[in-house]
Chain A
Amino acid sequence: MASVAKLEPRMRENFTQSLGMIVALGSWAMMFGALFFVYAGVRTSARVWPPAGLPALPIALPLVNTLVLALSSVMLWIGTNALIRGNRKVLPRYVALSFGFGTLFLVLQVKVWKDLWLSGLMPSTGIYASVFYGLTVLHAVHVFAGLIVLAVIFARSLKGTYTEHNAIRVRVAGMFWHFVDVVWIFMFVALYLL
């Protein structure tokens, strides 16, 4: 820690903030890990998947959606990096783009749910539908929470709240958003591909 103590106070503060977020995300990862554990348990004990008579999950739309959410993440990353380098002007633009892609993700996700629902897949259909809806809905809740955070950051960035000196606040929020994206990639692979 000796080296950390030599950092200037702002960097120490940044370090503390990031560390807090990393620990929090570790905790969050365990929560999603538990969900994946349930999914793995269900899959390994099932003889046929999807169970007879139930529709298979689509792949095309979720794949597009994976790209959409990744793009949203990238936008926020570019905006944040610009801010750190001192370019305050572009931040609102990139945050807005990130927010837009995030919203598009939710819209498409709702479409996926709706199609499956109309084809007769309801949570009460059984374990197949339960894990699908359960995992995707819980993830979507996180996306929704992330969108609220992005909206707040957007409003504040318009007001010019953020500078290269307090960019850590955007960066920490960004860590959460990237995390939600990474979880989605795992979810996409587990639910739709495997």
Chain B
Amino acid sequence: MELQPIHPEPTSFIRKWIFSIDHKVIAKQFLWTGLLFLLFGGTLAMLIRWQWAFPGQSVPALGPVFFKDTGGAITPPTYTSIFTMHGLIMIFWAITPILIGAFGNLTIPLMIGARDMAFPKLNMYSYWAFFISAVLVILSFTSQLGAGNAGWTTYPPLSTNVGSPGWGQTFAGLGIFVTGLSSIMGGINYIVTVIRFRAPGMTWFRLPLTVWGLWLTAILNVLFVPVLGSGALLVTLDRLAGTHFFITGGAVGLKGGDPILFQHLFWIFGHPEVYILILPAWGIVGDVLSFFARKPAFWYKGSVFAMIGVTVLSAVVYGHHMYQTGMAPMLGLAFEILTLAISVPAVLLFVNWLNTIWRGSVRKTVPMLFALGMVFVFGAGGLTGLLLGTISTDIYLHDTMYVVGHFHLTMAAASFLASFCGLYFWFPKMFGRETNPLLGKLHFWGSVIFITTTFTGQLLAGYSGQHRRLYDPFQYDYITHLRDINRWTSYSAFMLFIAQIPFVINFFYSVFAGKKTKENPWDVPTLDWVACSSPPVYHNFDVVPTVVRGPHELGNPEVKKALGKDWISQTEEMPGEDLAHAAAAE
């Protein structure tokens, strides 16, 4: 069955590596750019942590280079830019390109048996739009008045000229808009590719969970990023064209616009965004746990429906970010019920993971360790979210460091660990080489331990009442005694940064000089590993494979008896079976 045509491979350097339409090359472009920004955003985080440990003192190493005028110390306006850009960069320019841009591009065609994306050129535009947005965000730093500084949420009127004049905030806003375009273009591609380009026999319920996660993320991206786009556009109009969408005349009465409207737009996008970042992570982890527990994913369909349930609910719970804005009590109550309801599919998914590893034959490979680590931090993060979804407890905890600790555990740490889980897992597929497991394990233990201590420290500081985003938290008398825990949390964050060094060494060494990999080093049954080489040829599959079974056929004793191995691939038939013929005839 010749479903998809084969195009000739480009020969010029530019077409092959720069303006490439090959999903595998685009995946690498997203990966490299994302990793660079991860380093950038991580460095900004270190500056924030330094400031909280030693407010106003000159920063070692970085200070003399970046803050010459003040003798190396961070000033309040610089500080506001740092935490704003840390949030924006980590979300839009680090995690999004790595988890969605890189793994989405790499795995979707390979796992569903497609020769490329449905719209390869659109895919290229998606990367280059992302690149332009990255340039915009860097330009933001060149402003004399500082980079964007209204917080990653860019609430007006603070994000209008009333609160943040200068082109720093303007470029940050435009950057968000353009990177949104990139996400939408990518999303369109992912959605259509999965609907139209699945190999024969690859039914919806034979899709790996990774593909499910990425597909649902793509839907959320396509539906909700444009809402953020509108918000960013209107704020930009308020900044540049003198409109008054979100600027009010004074304290009382509606003379001008309504700043709360922006918060609605922002969180209509912003809450799904949390799931945009976590759904691919859930998918990857769901697969990897099964692969390395050598056991089928526990209640696969339950997990799929849980993910769908979360996707649907994610669109209608956003109000819990706005409990303290003076929201009508009945509306608040509705959002509270929906928010608490989301814990049902989330816990179901979680229980399915736990049951997947239970009574398995757990291989503690590097990807598996990262997957287990993700389950751990996501569990901790999820549990701490309960108090924030509830209105009365949120009154006290809202806008404290508790919120910061919570969303870093769920959204940042969990997607961070899942990113590395995916990176170690598909590294041989991308580069044809193996990574060093010893360095990988060092990287894992350093990461998971210091993630736990860092964000637990933040939870505890917030529980004790420390506000977020304070240049010097100890201005407040009732938290001066939190100096110690802030220092310890900072030390732990510095260690987390240092713990990434083994990864950097491992990554560069392995890309260029790693051991050549076997075709299927992990013995896993999905198409990306069993139906194409590592790294794949330009068109992935010489013959588009025919799929005969689900993605998690591991540990089946009958297979072991007949074939002598504990797994059977998605395309492989048992002796005497004739499933391929049936699938092809369909």
Please measure, in the bound complex, the distance between the C-alpha atom of A124 and the C-alpha atom of B225, giving whole angstroms. Answer: 28
With both beta carbons as reference points, the residue of chain B lying nearest to A16 in the complex is identified as: B196
Which of A36-44, A68-76, A92-100 forms contacts with chain B? A36-44
Q: Binary interface profile of B, 185-215, with partner A (CB < 8 Å = 1, else 0)?
A: 0011101100110101000000000000000
Label chain A's interface by main secondary structure: helix
- Whether A34 touches B230, Cβ cut-off 8 Å, given contacts A23-B188, A42-B258, A127-B257, is yes
- Whether A2 touches B586, Cβ cut-off 8 Å, given contacts A23-B192, A41-B258, is yes
Which of A19, A20, A28, A138 gathers most chain B CB within 10 Å? A20
Cβ of B256 under 8 Å from chain A: yes
With both beta carbons as reference points, the residue of chain A lying nearest to B222 in the complex is identified as: A27
Cβ-defined contact, B243 with A123, below 8 A:
yes
User: In residues 221-253 of chain B, which contact A (Cβ within 8 Å)?
Assistant: 222-227, 229-231, 233-234, 237-238, 241-245, 249
- Give which listed residue, A1, A28, A30, A38, contacts B261 with CB less than 8 A: A38
Which of A83-91, A128-136, A182-190 forms contacts with chain B? A128-136
Please measure, in the bound complex, the distance between the C-alpha atom of A47 and the C-alpha atom of B254, giving whole angstroms. Answer: 9
Cβ-defined contact, B242 with A124, below 8 A:
yes
User: In residues 68-114 of chain B, which contact A (Cβ within 8 Å)?
Assistant: none
Cβ of B136 under 8 Å from chain A: no
Cβ of B184 under 8 Å from chain A: yes
Cβ of A59 under 8 Å from chain B: no
Cβ of A45 under 8 Å from chain B: yes
A59 → chain B closest CB, angstroms? 23
Cβ-defined contact, B242 with A35, below 8 A:
no
Cβ-defined contact, A27 with B254, below 8 A:
no
A37: B residues at CB distance < 8 A: 261, 264-265
Q: Binary interface profile of A, 140-152, with partner B (CB < 8 Å = 1, else 0)?
A: 0000000000000
Q: Binary interface profile of A, 5-38, with partner B (CB < 8 Å = 1, else 0)?
A: 1000000100110011001101110111111011
Cβ-defined contact, A123 with B184, below 8 A:
no
Cβ of B137 under 8 Å from chain A: no
Cβ of A173 under 8 Å from chain B: no
A26: B residues at CB distance < 8 A: 222-223
- Give which listed residue, A20, A38, A123, A134, contacts B265 with CB less than 8 A: A38
Cβ-defined contact, B244 with A34, below 8 A:
no
With both beta carbons as reference points, the residue of chain A lying nearest to B195 in the complex is identified as: A19
B154 → chain A closest CB, angstroms? 15
A31: B residues at CB distance < 8 A: 226-227, 229-230
A124: B residues at CB distance < 8 A: 242-244
Cβ of B268 under 8 Å from chain A: yes
Which of A5, A26, A131, A134 gathers most chain B CB within 10 Å? A134
Cβ of A126 under 8 Å from chain B: yes
- Whether A33 touches B227, Cβ cut-off 8 Å, given contacts A23-B192, A130-B243, is yes
Q: Binary interface profile of B, 306-346, with partner A (CB < 8 Å = 1, else 0)?
A: 00000000000000000000000000000000000000000
- Whether A134 touches B234, Cβ cut-off 8 Å, given contacts A19-B196, A27-B188, is yes
A55 → chain B closest CB, angstroms? 17
Cβ of B301 under 8 Å from chain A: no
User: In residues 99-119 of chain A, which contact B (Cβ within 8 Å)?
Assistant: none
Cβ of A175 under 8 Å from chain B: no
B257: A residues at CB distance < 8 A: 42, 127, 130
Cβ of B516 under 8 Å from chain A: no
With both beta carbons as reference points, the residue of chain B lying nearest to A41 in the complex is identified as: B261
User: In residues 96-141 of chain B, which contact A (Cβ within 8 Å)?
Assistant: 118-119, 122
Cβ of A56 under 8 Å from chain B: no
Please measure, in the bound complex, the distance between the C-alpha atom of A63 and the C-alpha atom of B3, giving whole angstroms. Answer: 49
Cβ-defined contact, A19 with B192, below 8 A:
yes
A191: B residues at CB distance < 8 A: none
- Whether A133 touches B243, Cβ cut-off 8 Å, given contacts A34-B268, A37-B264, A138-B233, is yes
- Give which listed residue, A5, A28, A133, contacts B226 with CB less than 8 A: A28
Cβ of B255 under 8 Å from chain A: yes
- Give which listed residue, B196, B200, B256, contacts A126 with CB less than 8 A: B256
B199 → chain A closest CB, angstroms? 11
Please measure, in the bound complex, the distance between the C-alpha atom of A24 and the C-alpha atom of B231, giving whole angstroms. Answer: 19
- Whether A123 touches B242, Cβ cut-off 8 Å, given contacts A31-B229, A31-B230, A42-B258, is yes
A134: B residues at CB distance < 8 A: 234, 237, 243, 245
A33: B residues at CB distance < 8 A: 227
A126: B residues at CB distance < 8 A: 244, 249, 255-256
B227: A residues at CB distance < 8 A: 30-31, 33-34
Given contacts A28-B226, A122-B242, A134-B237, 18 further A-B contacts (CB under 8 A): A19-B195, A23-B188, A23-B222, A27-B184, A30-B223, A34-B230, A34-B268, A37-B264, A38-B230, A38-B261, A123-B244, A124-B243, A126-B255, A127-B245, A127-B254, A127-B258, A130-B237, A133-B241
> Which residues does B use to contact A, with CB under 8 Å?
3, 118-119, 122, 184, 187-189, 191-192, 195-196, 198, 200, 222-227, 229-231, 233-234, 237-238, 241-245, 249, 254-258, 261, 264-265, 268, 586
Closest A-B pairs by Cβ, 10 of them: A34-B230, A31-B226, A130-B243, A124-B242, A34-B227, A30-B226, A123-B243, A27-B222, A41-B261, A127-B257
> Which residues does A use to contact B, with CB under 8 Å?
1-2, 5, 12, 15-16, 19-20, 23-24, 26-28, 30-35, 37-38, 41-42, 45-47, 122-124, 126-127, 129-131, 133-134, 138
